[in-house]
Amino acid sequence: MILEQLADTHQCAVADVIECLPTALWQKMAGNCFVELMTAIHQWQTPVTLITHSNDAILEFTGPLPAGEVGHGFFNLHGSTGLHGHLRYQNCAAIYWVERPFMGKPTASLIFCNQAGAVMFKIFVGRDDHGQLRAEQIDALRAFASKEAQ
């Protein structure tokens, strides 16, 4: 089930839902590693899927994460990949590294949450041509999460 649906059903924040999952499935990092993490993901230059979810839409972008920089209170994404925009990085209170099955397949994602525990956006590990999660991305994110775990 989608974490946002569980949060709506139980009238709580998505961060609360994540923290109810078995601890083997997630690690929590401080929101202040936002810029470092986004910069690291950009440097891979391999596809990831960025998702933003509201009550009315689930929007997905799959491709390399564009470069970003801090300016005017935002983390500004630039690039020719089709994804660009402005993220209020200072609103990020926690980043969750979550590895869990979804719809019968393994998934691995970063879930960026604000101070209220709501999801700002998610980044999912990319899949190769055979539909398998990219091992190099998982290894890099596991190492980052272990280093930054709260």
CATH number at residue 37: 3.40.1570.10
> Does residue 59 have a pLDDT over 70?
yes
- For residue 65, give the nearest of 56, 53, 78 by alpha carbon: 78
> Does residue 112 have a pLDDT over 70?
yes
Q: Report which residue type is found at 94.
A: A
pLDDT value of position 150: 62
> Does residue 1 have a pLDDT over 80?
no
Mean pLDDT of 87-114: 96
pLDDT value of position 55: 83
> Does residue 95 have a pLDDT over 80?
yes
pLDDT value of position 54: 84
Residue 50 tokens read as 């960025």
> Who's near 28: CB < 8 A, 6+ residues apart?
19, 94, 95, 96, 149, 150
Q: How many domains does the chain have?
A: 1
Q: Checking DSSP bridges between strand 58-63 and strand 68-71, what pairing results, if any?
A: unpaired
Name the E strands within 82-138: 85-87, 92-102, 105-114, 119-124
The boundaries of the domain holding residue 133 are 3-148
pLDDT value of position 79: 76
The residue that leads in pLDDT, 30 or 82, is: 30
Main-chain dihedrals φ then ψ at residue 80, nearest 5 degrees: -105, 15
